[in-house]
Structure 1
Amino acid sequence: MTLFTDRALNRATLARQHLLERTDMTALRMIEHLVGMQAQSPYPPYTGLWSRLRAFRHQELAGLLTDRSAVRLLLHRGTVHLVSASDCLTLRPVMQPVIERMYVTARAVREAGDPAVIAEHTLELLDKGPMTPRELGEALGERVPDVSPRLLADVARARLALVQVPPRAVWGAGGVTRYAAAEAWLGEKLLAAGLPDVIRRYLAAFGPATVADVQAWCGLTRLREVTDAMSGLVRLSGEHGAELLDLPDAPRPDPGVPAPVRFLPDFDNAVLSHADRGRIVAEQHRKSLFLRNGIVPGSFLVDGMVAGTWRADGGVVTLSPFGRLTAPQIGELEEEGTLLAGFLAPPGKSSGVRIA
């Protein structure tokens, strides 16, 4: 097997994430290329797309949500993801075992009863129109008494593909979470994609990768049986001996290619989608990025690696580096950060960047 160094792994992943060079593809195409974007907070995907696309504007993603070309729902790892309508219909059935394992627990079944009955009630209720989690839980509580409404709502959104409808996550509009059944919202039936196809798409966006990496990304288990049966994969040897799977025609740039400063939003999958995150987050910085409360703040890359976190307040982007930066690195961060601040600033607000 060909030896693949950590540096080469970093550059290959950045290239596939379009973090080495922005691209002209549409926002919808990028969302599909990334096989979804983690989005339990409504607005981070806007920054994730801005960092990868040359001419991205807020209205492009807002339009995809309002015209139902893209939706947000529970998917990989049981977390909310932004996906295209097509991927919603084909990926949700694939991730269903992960979601049910997390939310339809033995305790939930013991307290709430048959999840299939809750799902049936939910569809009848949502047929009248989208509902907030509280409204749904309380309405289910009238049909399944003496059970926590929150538990009932959690079982419902795990058992069924429920999408969060606009104006939630629409830039400049906002709104509370309201659920609709995916099939009714999109006018098509769920139909599971094949696991080999899903794995190939993961490698195209996040590879080269180990089987453990694929499983960490999606939450599914026993994928070694699937990859062992897949033909046409390239098998590489990582610097520390792990077997890496890859697509034969996927980009694997020279390890020496420069990596520009890039800003990643909260919970970006570029830092979450591998069992071994060392390709993009150095071991000494893990605790500073992956916080104990489960929050993964926005981060910035210097020479391809996470070098600190950032936050936006009004029109000001504040950077918190993990260590000392060189003058050229600071200059590049200030230049890119100023552009990001302008992108995120509310209308009429001045924008800028500062380094804490």
Structure 2
Amino acid sequence: MRCDAGPRRGVGHLVRCLALAEEFLARGADVTVFGTVERLDWAVAELAARGIPLLPGPDSAAELVEAARRHHLDVLVLDSYELDPAGAGALRAAGVFTLAIIDGDSRGQVADLYLDQNFGAEQPSLGSGAELPAPGSGAELPAPGSGAELPGLGSGAELSGLGSRAGLPGRLLAGSGYALLRDTVISARPPVVPPATEVSRPRVLAFFGGTDAVGAAPVLTRVLVATGHPMDLTVIVGRPEIEAQVDDVAPGRGQIIRPVPPTTELPALITGADLVISAAGTSTWELCCLGAPSALVCVVDNQRESYTRVVRHGLAAGLGELSALTTAGVAGRAARATAARTLHGLLSSPQRRATLAARAWSTVDGQGRTRVVDAVLNATHPANA
């Protein structure tokens, strides 16, 4: 698996690769992660605990092929916005089965298999993963708006226009049915939808990825305080400078703010919270699987489409975009006031929280990684499928 993580990159790519790695390991495969993990001792420890070697990441197409040959790889998973897009095609040409994990944009990668785990990705729109290069043919999938439907793998249909080596048609695994979740999340999934609970001081959890690369925690902590509602707020602070800013926020009456560092106990914190505030990234699917009533903020541009779909379908409440919440002047004050009203409504209404939890829980069943590995093994070892 080829991915990177760090204070500025975040850990989303590594976390979903780790989930996929756990499934491959359970099937008897040998797994290695190639990449850079900067200033994240807990993430390195997570790999070590599973016996997964972490080796320096090859970057260029030639380096990826050389690494694949040196380590006798059958499959290489690419999960990066920064790698040379030509790497996938070069690996395929070298006989290495390639899975590209994408978020809408394929970046021109020519892979054997594409995975877009975002909710609604099986219904492509402009700029989405619908525009996937066709391996070997140079053709593209039907363009958005052409009237051609692009079925998800769950329908059993093939994607027209995607050819591949060895006569295997290329496939797009699309939608939250393929969400990649770690063992700790799957094991914490409640057997039934969490019920509505009336509490005078809700337990609130706020976290924004493993590093909070964009500094969302202090902003949302201030918005939560502005609701004026009593709460017991736990904030995951990924970096010392974030912790210092959260410490500077003065709680209101009946409010407690408790900053804590990144922890492997996050699933337990999520299931123990009455409301969770998070970024609209890969953690969205963890929240859904765990049936957590959540409010999301869109912190980077490539989350916008998924954020809009999730909020529109009622899987989580929407707090808007971080850029709007940090804007100065009248516009910024209005955005923060709107977000505070949304949060106050959730804090004061157990029924609203329960409705979000039920929709989220029923959308992500925790079996996505099983489906992805099934697809890889079906393609690479069809005789044993």
Asked which structure has the greater RCO (Cα within 8 Å, sep 6+), the reply is: 1
Q: What range describes the TM-score normalised by the shorter chain of this pair?
A: under 0.3
- TM-score computed with the length of structure 2 as normaliser: 0.25
- TM-score computed with the length of structure 1 as normaliser: 0.27
